[in-house]
Chains A and B, each alone.
Chain A
Amino acid sequence: MKSLEDLKRLQQQVKAKTSLRHAAGTQVIVGMGTCGIAAGAREVMSAILNEIAKRNLEDVTVRQTGCIGMCEKEVLVDVVRVGQPRITYGRVTAENVPTIVAEHVVNGRIVEELVVAKIEE
């Protein structure tokens, strides 16, 4: 049974471990408008978080955003790596997530067949 006490202990462990590192991590952003949610954005979000936990990725931040007006391409997931263009993936399913995380988030290789937009920063 997990408790807030456990969280306090974990916090100390994590803090001790990560205090030396700088956060220049990769950002993952999931579109959570109504169509996004209806198309499975929550499942995609959960899959991303599961990958982070499973692969022990310590410098990924995950955010959600609202509607950006591309209903038919939902679920939309953006990956932003430092110094690289912002990549928008479309029609993402939970099954695509391990590939996007392994290829792009971890190794910096864009998964071309799922890309719907690239924005140079």
Chain B
Amino acid sequence: MRELSLHILDLVQNAVEAEATKVMLEVVEDLSADTLIIRVRDNGRGMEKQECSKVVDPFHTSRTTRRIGLGLPLIQMSTQRCEGHLKIESEMGKGTLIEALYRHSHWDRPPLGNMADTLQTILVGNPMLDFHYLHRVDERSFSIAASEINEILGGVPLTQPEILQWLQGYLKENLAILYGGVENEES
């Protein structure tokens, strides 16, 4: 996939399909350490040790009937091209932590891309999910929590036109501020 934000959407969808009710997503860009880290922590059903090592094997996952984790080998390949790694920690019944690390300045690193659209999709598409997002770029950070939004909304759906417009603007503006007010990379 051409954008990290699409991989991120895929990781969150995996968590939802693993019956997670809670997902914590972090994107940490540390320019002095030259790293970009994506972390997704969920409270889904988790995996056995064996399964953990198999999910990154494209030949294994493409043959299972449940196609969960189809995207993981793709992410692993993209991290490895960028002097990074993919780490999976999982415990049955407790949840899964996935960490993808990239060298920030690596010329093969896909751009983060349209993170605002990814967040909008997650928030609107999974209204029951306790979703939390934290994005750091050096000293700056932005976070948004579904629980906080839902509390303000008090039952009014996110898909009301006015609310949608607010959400789109809010995400775009706050993400832009992380990069000093200019819009991120190519979005």
Contacts and interface: CB of A to CB of B under 8 A. Distances in A.
B163 A11 contact: yes
A15 B162 CA distance: 11
Interface residues on chain A, size class: 35 or more
A114 interface: no
Interface residues of B, number: 40
B142 interface: no
A69 B17 CA distance: 14
A64 interface: yes
Contacts, number: 112
A4 B13 contact: no
B159 A32 contact: no
Given A33-B70, A34-B10, A42-B9, A14 B162 contact: yes
Interface stretch (B22-30, B78-86, B91-99, B113-121): B113-121
A88 interface: no
B165 interface: yes
A14 B163 contact: yes
Nearest to A4: B152
A49 B159 contact: yes
B81 to A, nearest CB: 18
B173 A1 contact: yes
Given A2-B170, A7-B166, A63 B71 contact: no
Given A7-B166, A15-B156, A38 B1 contact: yes
Given A33-B13, A42-B9, A49-B159, 10 more contacts: A2-B169, A7-B166, A7-B170, A18-B160, A33-B70, A34-B10, A46-B120, A58-B161, A63-B127, A66-B16
Interface of A: 1-4, 6-8, 10-11, 13-15, 18, 30, 32-35, 37-38, 42-43, 45-46, 49, 52-58, 60-64, 66-67, 69
